[in-house]
Every structure is written in C-alpha cells, then in structure tokens.
Amino acid sequence: MERFQKLLEDPHKYAKEWKEKTGGKVMGYFCPYIPEELVYAAGALPVRVLSEPDADGISYRYLYATFCPKSRGVLAQGLNGTYSYLDGISHAQCCEGMSGAYSSWRLHIPHEHEWFVSMPSDLDNPWALTALRSEMSALKKDLEKWTGKTITEEALDHAIEVYNTSRSLMRQVYELRRAANPKVTGAEAFEMVLSSQIMDKEEHNKLLKDAISKLSGREKRDDNGVRLMMLGSDCDFGDATLTRLIESMGATIVIDRLCNGSNYFWNNVIPQEDRLLAITQRYWDKPRCAVKDETFRRRVVDVIGLAIDYNVQGVIYNVHRFCTPNHADRPPIIEALKKRFIHFHDLEHDGTFPMGDLQSRIETFIDVIRK
C-alpha cells in the first residue's frame, strides 16, 4: 500500500518521468467522461487533473467566488504552473464549475492542444448515444492529427483490454470491502483509485495484481467499527485524508459513489465490432453522476442498492460549498435513506478539513449509530 501512497505524495513525478522516457505526449483531463481509451490508443498518456485547495486565492481573479472549491483548486494549479508538463487538456461537458475552470485554463494557461467533448446532459434521450458516438469519432480524428499516429483497431483493442483489466482489478479491491471485516481500508482503496488516474494503466495493473495477491495474507481486524458509505462531491487528495480521519475514530468506509472513486471504474467496455461504439456505450452507461441524473433519478436506486449490498449503517454526505449538482442530489437520496433507516450526516466544507471541528462531528455521528 505504501507504493500507492508514494505515487500520490508527488502526483506529477510519474507523468514527467514517463514523458522523458517515452517522448510521448501527456493529456490532462478534467472530467472522467473523457474516453481515456482513445487517448491511450493514440500513444499519449491521459492524466486526471486533480484538485488541491487554492490556498493563495489566485483563482478568484478568473472564477466567481460562488464556484466550488474543487473547480477553483484545479484552475489554481494550472495558473501556478503545477501542470506545466501537460501537452494538451480536455474536458467533457459536466458541471458549471469545472467547465468554468476548463474555459479559464484555455484562455490563460499555455498549452499545445485542447479538446471538448460535448457530453449529452440528458443521457436518457434516445439520441444521446448517437450524439456521443459522433463525438468519439471527431475526438479520434483530432487525436490522430495531434499525435501523428493512426489509431488502429488493434490499438483500440489493446487500450480496451488494459482499461478493462484495471477496472476489474479495482472491483476486486472493492469486493474485499464487502466482507464483515474488510482487509483493505477505505483510505487505501481511495489511494489505489487516485493513483490509477495519474499513471499508465498497464504499469498500475501490475501494482494492483501484486497488492491483491498480498492482501489475501493480511490478518483481519477484530473490529472494523461502524460501516459507512461516502457520497457527494469528490475532493481528490482530500478524500483519502477525510477517510483516514473517519476510520481513525472507529469506522470503515466500505463503499463510495464518487466520480474519483467507484464511479470511475465500475463498468467495463463490452467489446464489439464497432470499437468506438463499444467505448461510447461504456461511458454512456457508467453509474450516473449528479450532473447527468436529471430525468429518472437512477442514482437513488443505485445508492440504496450499494448500501444494502455492503451492509452500510451510515452515510457521510461529503459535499463542497456551492457544489450545485450534489446539493440538488441530496433531498431524494436522503429521503430514500430515511425509508431504509440508514443514518446520514451532512458534511459541507470549503475543500479544507479543520480537524478539530470534523473530529467532534464525526465522533458524534458514529456514536449515534452505535447506540
């Protein structure tokens, strides 16, 4: 597990070394709806632009103060040169905050190339899949022009295999968390998922296989405490920090439904003759985020199903201030949790974690569940 932690201590080191070693291009993406398989098949390295708190407030000159701290944290890292090694940037239509960060990045931060995938907002619309397949075709041509490499069917097959392997391995890790006394903690699982988003999946798969083989020999803890689920906004490095704090107080995060957590890897590409359509269907059919779940509220059924499968006793609804989609998502999910007698706790914050205040609130929540 130390290897995954070490990767996240300097999340930019790997991509820089990969670039020097291979001479390839690195593409940063803002939203996990970007089809990484296409980027990988073009010989480039897709890297998730992760957020850290904007301590200096540099983003306030470019984004409204009422944009969420994650979008401002992403933009701040671009403005201060943290991601200067990126050759290109890309974004798929999602929330207003991240779209604002991408637009400001395009205008104010030097980069070689950019892409925008017009991801349909209403994925239940009959034309959504057709429209998204068209976007994939346009992206493929653009990537070929940028990298100077033809994306062959063989390259797509290899990319699909590598990414499907990564997703299957991560689901194995999450399956271990279903046990009465999980051998892997929530913080460790978050670090595994986050590290997979900043390195070559083929290399990361080797680390995952080795870790899974060794986890079977790990001793079970006698008492893992209260079983919790994490929902709401993803705050990248802060998720592992918050999870570690919660788990130090007599609880275990056994499952999550976050964009940088289980949503990222939950479903595979189902191979078919039309490779682009297969990739399109995977992203169209992945677990809905709060932004893409406006018609039939599929997330409510999904969240309750996970809570039952993982024997969840309580839910931490971890949400950024001004995160409009997840604030709007709360009422129907909380109503459904109440009907199942599952405790929940609203944890709204500005992207930072004042440990004293958080500790008292979480301890109280855990005590309520225990009683």
Mean pLDDT value across the chain: 93
Residue 358: what pLDDT?
83
Residues in CB range of 268: below 8 A, 6 or more apart: 164, 167, 168, 282
Burial label for 111, CB within 10 Å (0-12, 13-18, 19+), is middle
Residue 217: what pLDDT?
84
Residue 354: what pLDDT?
72
Asked if 253 contacts 247 with a C-beta cutoff of 8 angstroms, the reply is yes
Outline where 122-199 has alpha helix (H).
128-147, 153-176, 186-196
Q: Read off the pLDDT of residues 316-353 as tens digits, 9 standing for 90 and up.
A: 999 988 999 999 999 999 999 999 999 999 988 877 76
Q: Which residues pair with residue 50 across a beta bridge? A: none
CA dist., res. 235 & res. 229, Å (int) = 15
Looking at the chain, the whole-number percentage of residues with pLDDT higher than 90 is 80
CA dist., res. 127 & res. 129, Å (int) = 6
Cα–Cα nearest to 360, from 251, 254, 249, 252: 249
- What beta strand segments (E) does the chain contain? 26-29, 45-48, 88-92, 113-117, 226-232, 251-256, 314-320, 343-349
CA dist., res. 287 & res. 194, Å (int) = 18
**Hey, CA dihedral for 134, 278, 232, 109, is it positive or negative?**
negative
How sure is the predictor about 218, in pLDDT bands with cuts at 50, 70 and 90?
confident
Residue 295: what pLDDT?
77
What's the pTM? 0.95
How sure is the predictor about 219, in pLDDT bands with cuts at 50, 70 and 90?
confident
Residues in CB range of 354: below 8 A, 6 or more apart: none
Kind of pairing, strands 343-349 and 88-92? Answer: unpaired
CA dist., res. 248 & res. 234, Å (int) = 20
Q: Read off the pLDDT of residues 13-65 as tens digits, 9 standing for 90 and up.
A: 999 999 999 999 999 999 999 999 999 999 999 999 998 888 889 999 999 98
Residue 236: what pLDDT?
83
Asked if 288 contacts 302 with a C-beta cutoff of 8 angstroms, the reply is yes
Q: Return the structure tokens found at 134.
A: 């068209």
User: Residue 357 above 90 pLDDT?
Assistant: no
Q: Read off the pLDDT of residues 166-217 as tens digits, 9 standing for 90 and up.
A: 999 999 999 999 998 898 999 999 999 999 999 999 999 999 999 999 998 8
Cα–Cα nearest to 192, from 213, 217, 174: 174
Q: Read off the pLDDT of residues 122-181 as tens digits, 9 standing for 90 and up.
A: 898 889 999 999 999 999 999 999 999 999 999 999 999 999 999 999 999 999 999 988
How sure is the predictor about 10, in pLDDT bands with cuts at 50, 70 and 90?
very high
First CA to last CA across the chain, in angstroms?
33
Asked if 91 contacts 39 with a C-beta cutoff of 8 angstroms, the reply is no
Q: What average pLDDT does the segment 90-114 reach?
A: 94
Residues in CB range of 331: below 8 A, 6 or more apart: none
Q: Return the structure tokens found at 300.
A: 């409510």
